[in-house]
Amino acid sequence: MRARHLVGPAMMLGLALLAGQYPPLTPNTNGGLSRPEPEHKLPMDQPDQAQQQKRHPQVDAAQLKREADELAKLSGEIPPAVEQASKGVIAKDLNERLKRIEKLAKQLRRELYQ
């Protein structure tokens, strides 16, 4: 029974200590209460500036064109290979061509959008 009498004051002391860790609520113009603005902002709080810093200023246009041309050539070879596969004949380098297409697509995406 004695332990129950100590729970109430202990909870009150804990709440009082926690209340001191957070800044007080301040009235805002809408009549409600709000927390003060934090002093430090994260990059995600300023999306325009974060996007500008991530972009690479120079892109090798000739390299991008070569990769895009190779991607187009390889992808043009896939439909006939798939048609042959439906007849039971699979080209032995089909898997390598598909992997190369995937790799080129990832490279182009990374170079263009980072």
pLDDT higher than threshold 60 for residue 99: yes
Confidence at residue 23, expressed as pLDDT on a 0 to 100 scale: 58
Confidence at residue 96, expressed as pLDDT on a 0 to 100 scale: 95
Q: Are 61 and 111 in contact (CB under 8 A)?
A: no
Quick check: is 9 in a domain? no
Quick check: is 11 in a domain? no
Quick check: is 70 in a domain? yes
Quick check: is 89 in a domain? yes
Residue range of the domain that includes 88 = 59-113
Name, in order, each residue with C-beta under 8 angstroms of 49's C-beta and a sequence gap of 6 or more: 43
Quick check: is 98 in a domain? yes
Residues 33-91: tens digit of each pLDDT: 566 666 666 666 666 655 555 555 577 899 999 999 999 999 999 999 999 999 999 99
Quick check: is 66 in a domain? yes
Confidence at residue 95, expressed as pLDDT on a 0 to 100 scale: 95
Into how many domains does the chain fold? 1
Confidence at residue 110, expressed as pLDDT on a 0 to 100 scale: 92
Quick check: is 32 in a domain? no
pLDDT higher than threshold 60 for residue 21: no
